[in-house]
């Protein structure tokens, strides 16, 4: 099967949100195809690490900054996966062999030619030095360059998510990285030489300032933005009004400050970033009962969280995990709509009684129904609302707050009872359900760092593995729907809500913004800064 310009591993995306499409390089400062002045776009900064494939911070937008400099074989636009460094590909061998035909005359930013050898090297290097974007080595039997512009991946088994994962796999230059033993601390200028449309001109770790300049020798669509600057701001909305930045996420209650002003445009993001309440079934055995987790779900007013925490600009969490904007979302799963009486009934059935009428629930041994809730310091408001709602059902919560990095580390190590986390990636290929809710082969914890500790459900395990190897999209979609239903019934975690923020931008500065089909941020898409394909 031949890959072409609109080859995709997903069904066509029907956009249910306001979308601003790129229409080529900004016409307001072009005449007869020539620029009147350079286009400089300023965005809110913050330190997200050095934008090499190994030194950026994994939590946050550092990955997308890196992808301004580095390319992947495949790319993502509004509708799915498209060719990028690979101009086309063929699938054969029962969906186990993929042959990629690379674009010719592509050069690294130091002038060296890009070849199939760089692709093979990138794969072998990632096997030795894994990163969040790495592909499971067990998935691939062999990566081989057939000639300078042809590379073949031979998979150990058919994998429905392979092309999607490859679209997130940055290719690095062998002539630079072959002599780098520790890529995680390699932050020399050579570490940010890619084939991408932008070069890193400067980076200030202390201030969180980045400056990217257009790569005029870029092989692909012409960069429409000459300079991308990321600068520190205390208040994004105020900075947008003052002209210090050109795009910002704006809360719903402040939108009217921009809606009727000339020059400002508004776009609404899909819900592909989300908050979730995760349970550690190993740390507290009481949480191993699905009925207790269901009681949590009934006791938590998720639409109320949307109203109070997101001012209405969010979608309530779906117990089936995939958000409503996901193209494989299954709406026919248990929803556990807010029902305090149902929550109390479940707790009573489990033996948690309010014996003294003081709202404190205990079991027959006098143990209180109380939990520690780990959360990031900036999520305390959300934590307070959860605490108040759960308290009405007789579930006590004590906060353990930490900075983001500490929280993420503790979650990764399984050192929590309950935790609230917030992250993107909810629009990704649905194989993340397998990564999040199946156990590692070593049996030492979940397959994914943010997965559910102590969770073991044979039905979920079976469906998760079957969907991974089912390359027929109709059959796979049915398996993923069943998987969502099984997860909603067992409830290993509870998605709380998916923010759908409003972005406001200065159209007089730049108007070429576009979303990716699986991602929530308007300014993270590489294609936002390039001419239309």
Question: Does position 1 have pLDDT exceeding 80, yes or no?
Answer: no
Question: Does position 296 have pLDDT exceeding 90, yes or no?
Answer: yes
Question: Does position 13 have pLDDT exceeding 50, yes or no?
Answer: no
Instruction: Please write the tens of the pLDDT for every residue from 155-166.
Output: 999 999 999 999
Cβ neighbours around 372 below 10 Å, total: 16
Percentage of the chain exceeding pLDDT 90: 83
Instruction: Please write the tens of the pLDDT for every residue from 350-393.
Output: 999 998 888 889 999 999 999 999 999 999 999 999 999 999 99
Question: Cα(44)–Cα(238) distance, rounded to whole angstroms?
Answer: 11
Instruction: Please write the tens of the pLDDT for every residue from 484-498.
Output: 999 999 999 999 999
Q: At what angle do helices 290-299 and 340-349 cross, to 10 degrees?
A: 160
Mean pLDDT of 258-276: 92
**Element (DSSP H or E) covering residue 89:** strand 86-92
Question: Cα(321)–Cα(423) distance, rounded to whole angstroms?
Answer: 13
> Strand, helix or coil at 203?
strand
Question: Does position 6 have pLDDT exceeding 50, yes or no?
Answer: no
Instruction: Please write the tens of the pLDDT for every residue from 197-245.
Output: 999 999 999 889 999 999 999 999 999 999 999 999 999 999 999 999 9
Question: Cα(520)–Cα(424) distance, rounded to whole angstroms?
Answer: 8
Mean pLDDT of 116-140: 94
> Strand, helix or coil at 352?
coil
CA-wise closest residue to 434 among 482, 483, 387: 483
Which residue in the block uniquely carries the two structure tokens 């790569």? 215
Name the burial class of residue 332, with classes exposed (0-12), middle (13-18) and buried (19+) by CB atoms within 10 angstroms of its CB.
exposed
Torsion sign over Cα 476, 477, 480, 481: negative
Instruction: Please write the tens of the pLDDT for every residue from 436-453.
Output: 999 865 455 666 666 789
Question: Does position 271 have pLDDT exceeding 60, yes or no?
Answer: yes
Confidence at 51, pLDDT banded by 50, 70, 90: very high
Residue 444 has a pLDDT of 52
Question: Does position 12 have pLDDT exceeding 70, yes or no?
Answer: no
Spacing of C-alpha 41 from chain mean position: 24
Residue 441 has a pLDDT of 56
HSE-CB for 487 with a 13 A CA cutoff? 30
Cβ-proximal residues to 475 (8 Å cutoff; 6+ apart), any chain:
none
| Backbone phi and psi for residue 304, each to the nearest 5 degrees, phi listed first | -65, -35
Mean pLDDT of 126-151: 94
Residue 445 has a pLDDT of 63
**Element (DSSP H or E) covering residue 432:** helix 432-437
Question: Does position 2 have pLDDT exceeding 50, yes or no?
Answer: no
**Average pLDDT of the chain to the nearest whole number:** 90
And the tokens for 344? 């109390």
Confidence at 15, pLDDT banded by 50, 70, 90: very low
């Amino acid at each position: 099967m031949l890959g072409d310009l609109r080859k995709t591993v997903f069904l066509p995306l029907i956009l249910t949100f306001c979308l601003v499409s790129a229409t080529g390089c900004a016409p307001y400062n072009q005449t007869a195809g020539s620029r009147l002045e350079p286009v400089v776009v300023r965005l809110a900064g913050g330190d997200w690490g050095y934008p090499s494939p190994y030194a950026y911070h994994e939590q946050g937008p550092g990955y997308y900054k890196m992808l301004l400099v580095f390319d992947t074989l495949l790319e993502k636009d509004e509708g799915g996966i498209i060719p990028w460094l690979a101009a086309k590909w063929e699938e054969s061998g029962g969906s186990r062999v993929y042959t990629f035909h690379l674009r010719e005359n592509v050069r690294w930013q130091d002038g060296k030619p890009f070849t199939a050898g760089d692709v093979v090297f990138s794969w072998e290097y990632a096997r030795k030095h894994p990163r969040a974007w790495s592909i499971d080595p067990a998935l691939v039997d062999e990566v081989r360059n057939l000639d300078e512009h042809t590379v073949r991946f031979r998979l150990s088994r058919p994998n429905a998510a392979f092309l999607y994962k490859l679209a997130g796999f940055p290719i690095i230059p062998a002539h630079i990285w072959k002599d780098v033993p520790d890529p995680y601390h390699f932050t020399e200028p050579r570490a940010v030489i890619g084939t991408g449309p932008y070069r890193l001109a400067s980076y200030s770790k202390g201030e969180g300032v980045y400056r990217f300049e257009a790569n005029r020798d870029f092989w692909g669509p012409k960069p429409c933005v000459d300079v991308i600057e990321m600068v520190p701001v205390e208040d994004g909305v105020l900075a947008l009004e003052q002209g210090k930045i050109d795009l910002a996420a704006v809360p719903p209650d402040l939108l009217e400050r921009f809606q009727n002003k000339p020059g400002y445009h508004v776009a609404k993001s899909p819900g592909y970033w989300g908050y979730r309440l995760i349970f550690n079934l190993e740390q507290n055995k009481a949480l191993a009962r699905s009925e207790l987790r269901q009681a949590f779900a009934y006791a938590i007013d998720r639409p109320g969280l949307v109203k109070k925490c997101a001012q209405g600009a969010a979608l309530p969490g779906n117990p089936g995990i995939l958000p409503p904007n996901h193209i494989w979302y299954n709406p026919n799963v248990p929803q556990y709509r807010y029902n305090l009486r149902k929550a109390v009934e479940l707790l009573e059935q489990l033996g948690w009684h309010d014996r003294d009428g003081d709202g404190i629930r205990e079991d027959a041994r006098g143990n209180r129904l109380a939990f520690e809730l780990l959360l990031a310091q900036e999520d305390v408001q959300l934590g307070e609302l959860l605490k108040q709602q759960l308290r009405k059902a007789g579930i006590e919560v004590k906060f353990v707050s930490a900075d983001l990095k500490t929280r993420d580390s503790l979650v990764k190590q399984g050192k929590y009872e309950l935790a609230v986390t917030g992250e993107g990636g909810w629009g990704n290929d649905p194989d993340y359900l397998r990564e999040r809710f199946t156990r590692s082969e070593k049996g030492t914890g979940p397959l994914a760092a943010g997965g559910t500790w102590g969770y073991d459900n044979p039905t979920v395990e079976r469906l998760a593995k079957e969907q991974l190897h089912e390359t027929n999209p109709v059959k796979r979609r049915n398996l993923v729907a069943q998987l969502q239903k099984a997860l909603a019934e067992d409830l290993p975690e509870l998605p709380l809500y998916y923010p759908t923020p409003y972005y406001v931008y200065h159209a007089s500065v730049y108007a070429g913004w576009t979303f990716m089909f699986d991602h929530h941020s308007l300014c993270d898409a590489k294609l936002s800064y390039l001419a239309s394909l």
